[in-house]
């Protein structure tokens, strides 16, 4: 069973619908005990980093989720669910993240470009992953965000986009993948990542 985590941050229905294109074994859960019966976890989300972490802790997800990922379970993070994997964020003051990936979430610098970064942008693949099979380099994906990660290491960076600066927008290692963009809103290229993930989980 693929479990989409409901922790009160954003509309998760579009994420669920994307995964249901490739499997009917999808459930939405706000109960951390569902991890025990899950073959994969999906962490979506929109909104503020600090509130998201507070919700994960309050609902009892934070520690079981960290252990699940550290133990090598299949995991897919989307947008805010991508940022939460990092050590900390400066959004509305400094807040600790899950600390799965060493790095800090920071706001785009003030320049001629509008913030939030919203719309379609090409992604340069900088690493390899089975979850990216079949995708051509410089594929386009849909973004909406005001913050991006500064990573301590590039070892887990699989893709970068450019918006005034180059920033990591795909991270992955082992059975983990996470994207700053919304794959469920990115038409065929985004859905290819979802499909690749489901095939791996269900194989």
Residue in 117, 156, 182, 195 annotated catalytic? 182
Residue in 91, 184, 189, 195 annotated catalytic? 184
pLDDT at position 92? 83
178 CB-near residues (< 8 Å, 6+ apart): 43, 75, 76, 77, 78, 81, 82, 85, 170, 171, 172
pLDDT at position 107? 95
Catalytic site includes residue 184: yes
Q: How many domains does the chain have?
A: 1
| H/E run at residue 41 | strand 40-43
pLDDT-flagged residues of the chain (< 70): none
Mapping DSSP to helix (H, G, I), strand (E, B) and coil, where does residue 125 land? strand
What predicted TM-score, i.e. pTM, was given to this entire model? 0.96
Helix pair 187-202, 13-20: axis angle to 10 deg: 70
Neighbours of 197 (CB within 10 A): 24
Residue in 79, 156, 169, 189 annotated catalytic? 79
pLDDT at position 110? 82
Catalytic site includes residue 202: no
Q: What domain range is 141 assigned to?
A: 2-202
Residue recorded with tokens 């913050």: 147
CATH of the domain at 112: 3.40.50.880
pLDDT at position 18? 97
Q: Measured in whole angstroms, how far is the alpha carbon of residue 14 from the centre of its chain?
A: 14
Catalytic site includes residue 189: no
83 CB-near residues (< 8 Å, 6+ apart): 49, 89, 97, 105, 145, 147, 149, 180
């Amino acid at each position: 069973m693929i479990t989409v985590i409901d922790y009160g941050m954003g509309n998760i229905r579009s994420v669920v619908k994307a995964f249901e294109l490739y499997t009917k074994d999808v459930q939405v859960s706000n109960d951390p005990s569902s991890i025990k019966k899950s073959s994969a976890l999906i962490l979506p989300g929109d909104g503020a980093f600090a509130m998201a972490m507070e919700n994960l802790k309050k609902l009892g997800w934070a520690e079981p989720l960290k252990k699940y990922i550290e133990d090598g379970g299949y995991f897919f993070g989307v947008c805010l669910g991508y940022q939460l994997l990092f050590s900390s964020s400066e959004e509305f003051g400094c807040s600790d993240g899950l600390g799965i990936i060493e790095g800090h979430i920071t706001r785009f610098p003030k320049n001629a470009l509008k913030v939030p970064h919203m719309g379609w942008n090409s992604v340069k693949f900088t690493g390899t992953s089975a979850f990216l099979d079949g995708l051509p380099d410089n594929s386009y994906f849909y973004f909406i965000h005001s913050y991006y990660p500064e990573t301590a290491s590039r070892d887990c960076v699989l893709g970068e986009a450019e918006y005034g600066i180059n920033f990591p927008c795909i991270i992955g290692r082992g059975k983990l993948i996470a994207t700053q963009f919304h794959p469920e809103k990115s038409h065929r290229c985004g859905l290819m990542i979802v499909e690749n993930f489901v095939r791996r989980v269900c194989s």
